[in-house]
Amino acid sequence: MTVIGPNDPCPCGSGRKFKHCCGGSREGRVGALASAARESAIRKLLAFAFQSAFDEDHTVAEIVFWGDRLQGKSRSHELQWLMDSEDATIKYNSWFLFDWDVDGAGTVADLFLDEESESLNPHEREFLMRLAKAHLRLYEVEAIDRGRGVQLTDLWNRKRMFVIERTASQQIVTWDLLGARVASDGAGGLVFEGGLYLYPAEAKEHIVLHFRKLHRRYQRKFPTDDSAAFFRKHGMVFHHLWLDLVAFPEPPHVTTSEGHTLMFCRVLFDAAHIDDIRETLIRQPDIRPLEDGRLSWRERTEHGGQEIGIWSFEEQRVVFETTSQERAANGRRWLERLVGDLVRYRATALETLDETMNLLRTPRRPDPSEEHADVDTAPVRELYDRHYQTWLDRPVPALGNRTPRAAARTRIWRPRLIDLLKRIENGSERAALAGRPPYDFSWIWRELGLDRPHS
């Protein structure tokens, strides 16, 4: 085993000297030596896997791992950047080493343990044998112990487990959906190996059904194989799903009630007599003043009425905001017909839903000055309280237009309500990680008479 000197950097990655870190206790020394064995074992295995003898395997494996995205005439800049990233390299290497079948002779790790076993010390060999037993599976996060680990439920067999993970537990939130390779740490615990796939919580049903379909097809060919063999054979599917749902998701095609493509539009007009224009608009029967001084433009429908845009007023400028190019054009014609020369059209700014989603995906960097700010979150909690008290008795499309209270009383719709509450909690907790005020949903579960899963 690699000898660690007292003044060497600690293998745990802290950046401190070994004697001032893990070397300071017996448990720490054992952990550090295990970490050193892990690093040296992986280094030897990678050297074996990237010999010229495996060149053809890598050529085919890369196509299998990245799927149809490599079949185009040229790779996009975003895809190439992703392929070159450290995260993708770790995931590909883990899959190639422990899942890829080499001509029916086993995995690369199997071949290495058979052919190069003498190059390994007992600790390195033990580590690789533990990792060779692991494979990617689908998990739901049910609880988090920040800085220590996560409680998971295996969505295939419903088994529960605690996985030791210090770093990722700072970014994972309750009800997250993970594609993960869970392995024994050799000391009675479980750890993640080989990178994590984090999927949107709302994709749970889609992903589980996708794997169920693949499993039925697989069982027809290999009826005696267990779930471990199935998931190892389909390890690249975790990567394909992540590419489709997270890295390069298809933007939803959303339309307005008229069937027009939803697009955020901002129409700008120059104006010298703002007060006169505003008074003229207020007198129109379909205009409703808002508390912040803006005006809501509504149209009558057979269901009552719907808002089609908002008029706002700046210094020598009128602004109309709406959600389609057709509504923007109608708003321009309506205002020019109503006030004539009092306004002069300047421009229309357009933003597609895809562009908006890309902005929302960009993580907000917290301002250090805000981290310890004394912010009163009571008004936000009161706003959420009012919203969810109303929501309990409002028909929800995801529940077949039943109210949450009604869905909670039916055997068929209760599971869908529970999944919906999980997604709401997941989104709220992830928003809290980004700096927004947290919210406690426990009262909603009690109000609906539902047991929060494993609470």
Q: Which residues, in sequence order, are bridge partners of residue 151?
A: 143, 162
Q: Diameter of the chain by CA atoms? A: 90
- Which pairs with CB-CB distance under 8 Å and at least 24 residues apart come from 76-80? 78/247, 78/248, 79/248
The DSSP secondary-structure symbol of 370 reads G
pLDDT for residue 253: 64
CA distance 263 to 266: 10
Which one, of 418, 417, 366, lies nearest residue 396 by Cα?
A: 417
- Which pairs with CB-CB distance under 8 Å and at least 24 residues apart come from 391-399? 392/444, 392/447, 392/448, 396/420
pLDDT for residue 28: 45
pLDDT for residue 362: 47
Q: Each residue's pLDDT tens digit in the chain (455 positions)?
A: 344 555 666 554 445 554 555 444 444 444 455 678 888 999 999 999 999 999 999 999 999 999 887 765 456 778 888 888 999 999 999 999 999 999 888 999 999 999 998 999 999 999 999 999 999 999 999 999 888 899 999 999 999 999 998 887 678 899 999 999 999 988 889 999 988 999 999 899 999 999 999 999 999 999 999 999 999 999 999 999 999 998 888 766 667 777 888 788 899 999 989 999 999 999 999 999 988 889 999 887 665 567 889 999 988 899 999 988 999 999 999 999 999 999 999 988 887 655 554 544 444 444 544 444 455 567 667 778 888 888 898 888 788 888 899 999 999 999 999 999 998 898 888 888 877 778 889 999 999 999 988 65
| Token duo for residue 84 | 């070159």
Q: Is 33 helix (H, G, I), strand (E, B) or coil?
A: helix
CA distance 16 to 433: 28
Cα–chain center distance at 371: 24
CA distance 418 to 399: 11
Quickly tell me which residue has 């919203």 as its tokens.
Answer: 387
* Residue 428, CA atoms < 13 Å, CB-side half-sphere: 16
CA angle 166, 169, 174 (to 5 degrees): 155
| Token duo for residue 231 | 């998931």
Q: Where are the alpha helices (DSSP H) in 394-434?
A: 404-408, 414-433
Residues in the chain: 455
CA distance 360 to 15: 34
Cα–chain center distance at 186: 30
Q: What pTM was estimated for this model as a whole?
A: 0.67
Side by side, which strands form the sheet with 343-352?
287-289, 295-301, 304-314, 317-322, 263-271, 343-352
Q: Which amino acid is at 223?
A: P
| Token duo for residue 303 | 């269901």
Which one, of 309, 357, 352, lies nearest residue 331 by Cα?
A: 309
